[in-house]
């Protein structure tokens, strides 16, 4: 059901310590920990003896010992010790996931381990740009990962759902209109891109504070979606007073069909020195607050309705161009792998 042979974001580095972390990823239990010298380990969170979660056990060097009867597994998933027994059957070994730490995230590879190439991890160079300051956030969401992605691909919701924080109010009936709206989407390989520019538009309260703007701005939003489910956003707010740049990335990792690990970085070229507003803590608190109070309750409520109202279909509109393009791409990817298209992909074949 989930796309294989991709890097999936599994955790923030600060979450992975010598204390085992259990995380269900694409319906599979995974245990993450740091062994000797901080080396990252990702194994099935399932002892081969009687299926106990290894995450309840103890890390010993680069190994982990099951809390139930003491089997020990090394960082390659090889069972290296069975108490009171000299021979170890090969079927006692468990799966080890290729794991990498890059761009401020921990990634695991789902699929054929021989194909795990770190160069295929989504490219987030702004997170290590000295002129930017990255802030990282994690959310657990009780909704399908594609509903979370669709929320990010649907730029038009900002004017409504975030009308007091991030939106421009330009979409509101009777509200002030921008001089022009340019919106286009296009495809490059498997990636789906979009460009949306609003000129001479009212600036929302957050970017107004971030850029010290006193009057209308031009707002440019450039997005890119890539498989399995990452949305990159480049934002510019500009007028003759100032110009501010933001890159934020949203990485949706399925936990199950109806729950998601949602990872985000937010980088900016303002407020990065001197301890004045907005500091990293200010940005973290603003982003956490907007997403957890506006977006996530909405996608979780959508999921509840979808669970109840089987057989209903969405009514896409012009503003949904980017969502539609991504769903068409997903449908192609599932079809070309001979996997039936999941119900949350809004294109049927
Ligand atoms: S279940 Fe792990 S050692 Fe028995
Ligand atoms: Fe939003």
- pLDDT tens across 119-137, in order? 999 999 999 998 998 999 9
pLDDT of residue 216: 95
- pLDDT tens across 209-241, in order? 999 999 999 999 999 999 999 999 999 999 999
- Tell me, in angstroms, the distance from the centre of ligand 1 to residue 65's CA: 9
Task: Give the mean pLDDT of the chain.
Answer: 94
pLDDT of residue 159: 79
| Candidate from 20, 49, 53, 65 with most ligand 1 atoms within 8 A of CB, to mutate | 49
- pLDDT tens across 269-309, in order? 999 887 889 999 999 999 999 999 999 999 999 999 999 99
Phi/psi class of residue 271: alpha, beta or left (left: φ > 0; alpha: ψ in -120 to 50)? left
pLDDT of residue 300: 98
Q: Which atom of ligand 1 is nearest to the CA of 57?
A: 2
C-alpha to C-alpha distance for 300 and 147, rounded to whole angstroms: 9
pLDDT of residue 169: 64
pLDDT of residue 283: 96
Structure tokens at 53: 């979660």
| Candidate from 29, 50, 73, 94 with most ligand 1 atoms within 8 A of CB, to mutate | 50
Q: Which atom of ligand 1 is nearest to the CA of 52?
A: 1
Q: Is the CB–ligand 1 distance for residue 73 below 6 Å?
A: no
A 10 A CB-CB count for 307 gives: 11
Q: Which atom of ligand 1 is nearest to the CA of 83?
A: 3
On the question of pLDDT at 336 being above 70, the answer is yes
Q: Which long-range contacts (CB under 8 A, 24 or more apart) does 313-319 make?
A: 313/346, 314/346, 316/346, 319/154, 319/155, 319/156, 319/183
- pLDDT tens across 9-41, in order? 999 999 999 999 999 999 999 999 999 989 999
- Tell me, in angstroms, the distance from the centre of ligand 1 to residue 101's CA: 29
* Average pLDDT rounded to a whole number, residues 180-198: 94
C-alpha to C-alpha distance for 76 and 74, rounded to whole angstroms: 5
Q: Which atom of ligand 1 is nearest to the CA of 54?
A: 2
C-alpha to C-alpha distance for 303 and 257, rounded to whole angstroms: 10
Q: Whose CA is nearest to atom 4 of ligand 1?
A: 69
Length of the chain measured in residues: 349
pLDDT of residue 65: 98
- Tell me, in angstroms, the distance from the centre of ligand 1 to residue 5's CA: 30
pLDDT of residue 187: 96
Ligand nearest to the CA of 46: 1
- pLDDT tens across 49-104, in order? 999 999 999 999 999 999 999 999 999 999 999 999 999 999 999 999 999 999 99
* Average pLDDT rounded to a whole number, residues 334-349: 86
Q: Is the CB–ligand 1 distance for residue 69 below 6 Å?
A: yes
- 171: confidence class by pLDDT, cuts 50, 70, 90: low
What secondary structure does DSSP assign to 37-62, as a single string? Answer: GG-EEEEESS-TTT---GGGSEEETT
Q: Is the CB–ligand 1 distance for residue 184 below 6 Å?
A: no
Q: Is the CB–ligand 1 distance for residue 16 below 6 Å?
A: no
pLDDT of residue 163: 78
Considering only CA atoms, give the Rg of the chain. Answer: 22
Cα 157 to Cα 283, 305, 323: the distances in Å are 21, 19, 12
The winner for highest mean pLDDT among 159-163, 170-174, 190-194 is 190-194
| Contact (CB, 8 A) for 73 and 52 | no
């Amino acid at each position: 059901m989930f796309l294989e042979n991709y890097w999936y974001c599994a955790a923030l580095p600060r979450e992975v310590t010598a204390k085992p972390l259990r995380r269900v990823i694409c319906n599979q239990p995974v245990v993450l920990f740091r062994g000797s010298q901080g080396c990252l380990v990702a194994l099935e969170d399932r002892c081969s003896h009687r299926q106990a979660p290894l995450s309840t056990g103890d890390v010993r060097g680069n190994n982990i010992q099951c809390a139930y009867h003491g089997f020990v597994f090394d960082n390659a998933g090889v069972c290296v010790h069975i108490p009171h027994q000299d021979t170890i059957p090969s079927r006692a070994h468990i799966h080890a996931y290729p794991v990498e730490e890059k761009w401020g995230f921990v990634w695991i590879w789902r699929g054929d381990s021989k194909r795990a190439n770190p160069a295929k991890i989504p490219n987030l160079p702004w997170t290590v740009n000295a002129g930017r300051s990255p802030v990282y956030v994690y959310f657990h969401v009780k909704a399908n990962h594609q509903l979370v992605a669709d929320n990010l691909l649907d730029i038009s919701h900002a004017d409504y759902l975030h009308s007091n924080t991030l939106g421009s109010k330009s979409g509101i009936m009777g509200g002030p209109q921008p001089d022009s709206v340019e919106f286009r989407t296009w495809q490059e390989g498997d990636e789906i891109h979009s460009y949306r520019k609003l000129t001479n538009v009212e600036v929302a309260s957050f970017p107004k504070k971030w850029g010290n703007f006193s009057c209308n701005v031009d707002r440019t939003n450039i997005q890119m979606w890539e498989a399995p489910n990452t949305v990159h956003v480049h934002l510019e707010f500009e007028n003759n007073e100032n110009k501010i740049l933001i890159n934020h990335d949203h990485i949706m990792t399925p936990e199950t069909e109806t729950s998601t690990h949602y990872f985000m970085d937010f980088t900016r070229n303002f407020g990065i020195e001197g301890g004045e507003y907005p500091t990293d803590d200010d940005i973290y608190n603003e982003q956490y607050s907007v997403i957890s109070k506006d977006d996530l309750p909405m996608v979780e409520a959508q999921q509840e309705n979808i669970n109840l109202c089987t057989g209903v279909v969405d009514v896409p509109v012009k503003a949904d161009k980017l969502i539609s393009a991504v769903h068409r791409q997903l449908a192609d990817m599932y079809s070309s792998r001979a996997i039936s298209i999941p119900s949350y992909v809004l294109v049927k074949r």
